[in-house]
Amino acid sequence: MDQHYQANSARYQQQPYRTVGRHGLRLPAIALGLWHNFGAEAAPERMSAMVRQAFDLGITHFDLANNYGPPPGSAETSFGRLLRQDLAAHRDELIISTKAGYVMWDGPYGDGGSAKYLFASLHQSLRRLGLDYVDIFYHHRPDSRTPLEETCQALALMVRQGKALYVGLSNYPADLACQAAIRLRELGTPCLVNQLKYSLFQREIEEQTLPACREQGMGVVAFSPLAGGLLSDRYLAGIPTDSRAASPSPFLKPDQLTAEKLGQIRALHALAEERGQSLSQLALQWVLRDAVVSSALIGASRPEQISSAVQALTQPALDVAWQQRILAALD
């Protein structure tokens, strides 16, 4: 493997950087999520090629969680190795985020939103990444067993201790996001962002959660903007044998690709072709059309997919007429 990586000197001319709510931080419009394809069995050469390609295209935001893998924790270990190997000289240019909230180890302190779990998980994540701090630490999901006050106090303390620069929420609906944002602001640690599942096939957050985040001064990071790959050209003729839907996966199951869904995919693909772009590029433009969305997290299995995603940002904006046509294709 080439050990003499030189970053693209024009990397900051490749895509726009968007303001995160009412904060000073800006994020690249397209960011790289390491939910898939960075686990223990992933090829080191492929992972390195994707991270290098991402950074060369101005992607400074790399998103992780304690449970990403498989097995859980291995994506952080892999990225920590890539940081040392390829990006050590660029640490101050990177926004590295991680999360805690899902099950990580046995016993009563291995998941949830308690201070005990959140701090233990953060310390483990820092060791796997080989870092002194992360740029963003998220509570990964609401926990009804833990008072929101305790979770917010733990997040605020992480910032005061210098173990995270910013804190965020993930999968928080409008009401809880507002409550957490208000309390964190009172604690002197404003909530930076709410990371939410958002795509053309999952638009529920447009009604209440996006407006609530805007009102509270939070940005939004959209994950699964391609609906697990459904909003791409791979499923136009059904389920390919080498696709995620054809393999055992808790995230994309064959029964999700109904005749109705396939019809919607083909209709959206036709619109994308009319615009001279791919369906995935059209889907990314949809989630980024609202300024409250600071960044769209893509997953990738090869560098070319990252390039294609960034190219979506060069396409003409979706005006009202195009938005209406897209919505009509989903009816």
Domains identified in the chain, total number: 1
Give the per-residue pLDDT at 2: 52
Residue 267: exposed, middle, or buried by beta-carbon count in 10 A (0-12, 13-18, 19+)?
Answer: middle
pTM as predicted: 0.94
Q: Give yes or no for residue 202 having a pLDDT over 60.
A: yes
Confidence of residue 3 (pLDDT cuts 50, 70, 90): low
Quick: pLDDT tens for 60-75: 999 999 999 999 999 9
Asked if residue 232 lies in contact with residue 260, where contact means CB atoms within 8 angstroms, the answer is no
Give the per-residue pLDDT at 1: 47
Range of 314's domain?
A: 11-330
Q: Long-range contacts: 211-217, Cβ < 8 Å, 24+? A: 211/174, 212/174, 212/175, 212/177, 212/178, 213/21, 213/177, 213/292, 214/21, 214/292, 215/178, 216/21, 216/177, 216/178, 216/181, 216/182, 216/191, 217/21, 217/22, 217/23, 217/181, 217/190
Asked if residue 213 lies in contact with residue 194, where contact means CB atoms within 8 angstroms, the answer is yes
Give the per-residue pLDDT at 254: 67
227 belongs to a structural domain: yes
Give the per-residue pLDDT at 117: 98
136 belongs to a structural domain: yes
75 belongs to a structural domain: yes
174 belongs to a structural domain: yes
The neighbouring-strand residues paired with 19 are: 26
Give the per-residue pLDDT at 237: 75
Residue 134: exposed, middle, or buried by beta-carbon count in 10 A (0-12, 13-18, 19+)?
Answer: buried
CATH number of 99's domain: 3.20.20.100
156 belongs to a structural domain: yes
pLDDT-above-70 percentage for the chain: 94
- Please state, rounded to an integer, the average pLDDT across all residues of the chain: 95
Provide mean pLDDT across the span 165-183: 98
In DSSP notation, 53-78 reads HHHHTT--EEE--TT-TTTTTHHHHH
Quick: pLDDT tens for 203-262: 999 999 999 999 999 999 999 999 999 999 988 876 665 555 555 555 566 677 899 999
79 belongs to a structural domain: yes
Q: Give yes or no for residue 291 having a pLDDT over 90.
A: yes
Provide mean pLDDT across the span 130-138: 98
Give the per-residue pLDDT at 235: 81
Give the per-residue pLDDT at 240: 65
Confidence of residue 4 (pLDDT cuts 50, 70, 90): confident
Contact partners, residue 251, CB within 8 Å, separation at least 6: 228, 244
Quick: pLDDT tens for 84-122: 999 999 999 999 999 999 999 999 999 999 999 999 999
